[in-house]
Structures are given as structure tokens and as C-alpha cells.
Amino acid sequence: MPVIRVNATEDSAALHSGTGSVAGVLAGCQAKGDATDGPVIVMIHGYKYHPHHPLNCPHDHVLALHPRARRGIAHGWPRHLGFGTGRADEGLAIAFGWQARGALRHAQQRAALAGQALARILADQKRIAPQRRVHVIAHSLGIEVALEALHHLPEGSIDRIIAMTGACFLSRARAALDTAAGRSAEFINVTSRENDAFDFLFERLIAPPRPGDRAIGHGLDAGNALTLQLDCPGTLQHLRRIGVPVAAPQRRICHWSAYTRPGVLRFYNDLMRRPQALPLELIRSGLPQTPARRWSRLFAAPALPLPFVQRAT
């Protein structure tokens, strides 16, 4: 059972289908030796998804091993993140669904409750298998779920968190990273000026925790955190140099580029499965000192395409 599908209902979680408890399934996987040699990877979708929705269920789309096409395109994360191979070291995927439809501010409030449900799952997982690495990857408003969980977990609960164009205020992220669980985790803030319009709307539609607060798309750096601007030519050149090539952007505005760009999910897979080969210090060493300014991509002159070389599989 490489993928466990769960859903949050307020601050508790249940299996997407079937009977039994989430903790019971986690314990059963460990007892049976199901993919126990690899990491636990939690995948959290963003805004506009709702479990069991006939058209927008995340378990049919981004969280699915065999995704259903949405707008004519199928983008499932699990297989690109190393699941469904049958290998003993593929680890365990937790596909985490939550109610992310409706008004944005209401979805953000539900994200906080879903984060408490996630914390309970991760606490159970650590109790069952304390030696296993645990990583979290989240898109858009899903990063609010991951950050809330940090407030309810002890040190060492999560190893790496990857925020794919996360919808979250800087003060919120910094507060979460200043918790016991946050200080022991590594936070990789993947941004792109392709997402500027969505960051701008987020800042206008959600009241900031403090005056002047801004979205994490502006950049977030700390000893255990870094920002990767994926539409920056210098960033892409550096990633190629360290062996994780990612394709250049093709659009001026795109909310999904952080997981649809060729090579990018493989890069995240390496970040979570080979953290010793990609320490934060190595990634940070070749990055530009400051992110590009907001709207710089929207109003920039057309650029020549960058070469992209995909690694052989």
C-alpha cells in the first residue's frame, strides 16, 4: 500500500475510503513491512479541491497514482515522487485531502484545522516508526496546513517541507518555523514570478496577521530555510550544475508551474529521497542573493529559451 488516502474533517482525519482508523492503517503497513525502507512523504493539495467532489476530488487528480485528466491534462504527484514502483525503498505516501473550496478566507480557516488533523497523523507515524524520515510537500494554500501542523508537533517530527508557490504570509511562516518542530525542519520555499498575480490576490483577499505583511512569494530565508525562484535563469543554471535540471518557464502567469514544469517533480523527489546529496548549503551556494521583484516577469521583454536537458531514467 504505497499511498494512503486520508481526508481532514475539521481537526480530525479519516480514510478516504474503507473502514478502520488512519493510525491503524499506518501501524498495519509498518507491521507488514509495506515499503518500510523509504521515507514517509505527505502530499497536500491547494485551493479549489474537495475530497469526494465529483469533479474536483484531489484523490482523482494531483494526489492520484493514476490521475484523471483535468482541463485535458493529468498531473499526479505520487508516481513522479517515486511511488507505485513496487520497490522496497519507495516508502509510504500519505495523500492528504481537505476541504479547500469556497471563499478563500474560509478555506484558509479550514486549513488551520486540517493542520491539527495532520499533526495527529504525523504524531502517530512517529510513534509507530520513530526512525523513518518524514517529508511534506504542499501546493498553494496547502502550505498553511503544513505550517499549522508544526505548532502541534515536537522537535524532529518533520525533516523537509517543500512549499510549491505557497499561499501564506511571511509572519505566519516565520512563526511556524520558530516552533520546536519548525526549528528542526528544513523549509524550501519554491516561488516564481509566474505566480505574482495569485500572490497579489491572496494579499488582497486575506487580512494579514500584521500590517504590511506579505506573501512568502517575496522570499523567505533563514538558517533552515531558503527560497528557490524557479523562473530565475541563474537559479535554473545552478540547479543544472548540481545535477537536478528543471525546464525553463513557458508562461508569464501560471499558478501550477511549480509542479507541472518538466523536471521539477523529479527535483523534489531528489530533495526528499536524497537529502544528504542535496543539503541546503549546496542549494543555497549558487542562488541569486535576492529574488526578482514582483511583476518583473509580467512586464519583462521576451527572453530566449534556456536549454533543458532531462536526466536519463
Q: How large is the average pLDDT for residues 1-13? A: 91
For Cα atoms 179, 136, 98, give the angle at the middle one, nearest 5 degrees.
95
Q: What average pLDDT does the segment 146-153 reach?
A: 99
Instruction: State pTM to two decimals.
Output: 0.92
Q: For the segment 174-193, what is each residue's pLDDT rounded down to a tens digit? A: 999 999 999 999 999 999 99
Give the Cα separation of 103 and 279 in Å (integer).
38
The pLDDT assigned to 185 comes to: 99
Name the nearest CA neighbour of 159 among 182, 129, 192: 182
Nearest of 125, 162, 99 to residue 4 by alpha carbon: 125
Tell me the pLDDT band of 37, cut-offs 50, 70 and 90.
confident
Q: How many residues does the chain have?
A: 313
> Domains in the chain, start-ordered, CATH in brackets?
3-225 (3.40.50)
CB 172 within 8 A of CB 139: no
User: For 218-268, how does the pLDDT look when each residue is reduced to its tens digit (9 = 90+)?
Assistant: 999 889 999 999 999 999 999 999 999 999 998 888 989 999 999 999 999
102 pLDDT above the threshold of 50:
yes
Pick from 97, 96, 61: which is nearest to 79 by CA?
61
Question: For residue 32, what pLDDT is reported?
Answer: 79
Indicate if the pLDDT at residue 311 is higher than 60: no
User: What pLDDT shows up at residue 137?
Assistant: 99
Band the pLDDT of 89: cuts 50, 70, 90. confident
